[in-house]
Structure 1
Amino acid sequence: MQVGGNDPPISVLGLDHWFGTGDGRKQAIWDVNLTVAKGSLTVLMGPSGSGKTTVLTLMGCLREVQKGSVRLLGAELNGASAAQAVALRRRLGFIFQAHNLHESLTATQNVLMGLEVHGRGCAAQQRRAAHHALSLVGLADRFDYLPSNLSGGQKQRVAVARALVSNPEIVFADEPTAALDRDSGRNVVEMLKALGRVRGTTTVMVTHDNRVLELADRIVTLEEGRIVNDDGAGPAAR
């Protein structure tokens, strides 16, 4: 796995992808080329089945690259070992439409799971970081609540806090506002955009939520596994 220090955080070249085997093998991604600038908020849009989530998971080390090049944080993913992919994922944050919280753990304990893989700081420092992340998403009064006592939107905000608590270099978000009301959803996306300005955090987000598009630096539209439009200067950059 080759690493380059001056590379953009994400660079995709000639990416193809298939699902299935044998006679059932079907191509889902066709010759995708995309370079994402550091600190930017890039939105992937398109109808259901257009390939946007597949592209997101390929860039985020969640699927094996079959053909083409995906360079993530200077490292080539095509041919990377499982151990190398795990090491890279520790530098990333993930937010999914399904919050994937552990029902037996409190909000604080769920967020702490975002720090355990890093082993950063003592227990007291980690707890303070978890509480800070929860406060940022408006859950300062829900630290010790179990998921069963949280609304759907509150659960999603816990998932956002878990993704951000380790200060990831890149955040991959798949429909992060789907379970949130207008104001909460906008607040989450504004927070991701602010992280780009303040910390240089790069965000790639799949969404159907037209309410947050004006915050994007760039909007990339996919149809049938191909990029059909790339608005390199999204509404926020105009």
Structure 2
Amino acid sequence: MDPGPPVVIRGLNHWFGAGEARKQALYDIDLTIARGSLTAVVGPSGSGKTTVLTLVGCLREVQEGSVRLLGHELRHAKPNLLMLLRRRLGFIFQAHNLHDSLTAIENVRMGLQVHGAMDPRREIEAAGHALALLGLADRMDYLPANLSGGQKQRVAIARALVGNPDLILADEPTAALDRESGSNVVDILMRLGKARGTTTIMVTHDGRILDRADRIVTLEEGRIVADTAPFAG
């Protein structure tokens, strides 16, 4: 049975603030994301890119319109459903958000522990594999203070990938990475898309990603103004 597209957005509007300070951030967004694809979302600062990402990620309440995530409507969704859906997502933010007192492998293991009890040996094996994929096999026992900015970001990416999420939501994930590391991250995300059907939505200004993304969606002032590959089906 075809589970359908992982993300379907219709007539999405969003505001920030209240009263006279209330300002509209998104205008009538319609977007359907194909399973297994890597979609790059681009646009100038303040165009609404991260707002879309946080709404899809159940980090903000849907105010008007419809957002269907993995077959479930998010508007008026109950907190327990939102919690279950978040567990099926992988988040990569500009700030790596690592715990300073935990080693690289311990930080990555946290990406598994949201799913409940697992054999510690399996956790360590999975976390080590994710770090090795990102070129950090020799940094597993390092604390964040002893890692470079790019290495910290790669640990954060490993943490997002380790639980084999259905959907990865990434906000400028390669901004702190050199060319080789950034290319490696894109390779991994594209392989996951082909092998497992993992879908990636990535806010980025990185031209290296734009050259390889399946689709580029451009936002300006809260509106979609260009879409290189509209979903058909």
TM-score, length-normalised on structure 1?
0.95
Q: Spell out, residue by residue over 1:193-236, the C-alpha distance to the aligned partner (whole angstroms, 9 max, x if none).
A: 11000110000000011122111000000000000001117xxx
1 CA distance for matches of 2:186 and 2:83?
26
Q: Given the alignment, which residue of 168, 173, 178 partners 1:181?
A: 178
CA offset at residue 7 of structure 1? Answer: 2.8
Partner SS, residue 23 of structure 1:
helix
Q: What is the identity, as a one-letter code, of the residue corresponding to 2:129?
A: H
- Superposed, which structure 2 residues align to 1:39-78 within 5 Å? 39-78=36-75
Q: Does 1:126 align with 2:115?
A: no
Aligned positions, number: 231
Q: Which runs of 5+ in 1 are unaligned?
A: 234-238
Is the Cα contact below 8 Å between 2:40 and 2:209 reproduced in 1? no
CA offset at residue 6 of structure 1? Answer: 3.0
| Cα RMSD, aligned residues only | 1.4
1 CA distance for matches of 2:67 and 2:4?
12
The percent identity for this pair of structures is 67
Give the match for residue 37 of structure 1: 34
TM-score, length-normalised on structure 2?
0.97
Partner SS, residue 216 of structure 1:
coil
Q: Spell out, residue by residue over 1:28-56, the C-alpha distance to the aligned partner (whole angstroms, 9 max, x if none).
A: 00000000000000000000000011011
Q: Spell out, residue by residue over 1:130-159, the C-alpha distance to the aligned partner (whole angstroms, 9 max, x if none).
A: 000000100000110000000000000000
Give the match for residue 95 of structure 1: 92
Q: What is the identity, as a one-letter code, of the residue corresponding to 2:196?
A: R
Q: What is the identity, as a one-letter code, of the residue corresponding to 1:71?
A: R
Deviant stretches of 4+, over 2 Å: 4-7
2 CA distance for matches of 1:191 and 1:10?
21
1 CA distance for matches of 2:52 and 2:114?
25
2 CA distance for matches of 1:43 and 1:21?
31
CA offset at residue 121 of structure 1? Answer: 2.7
Q: Which runs of 5+ in 2 are unaligned?
A: none
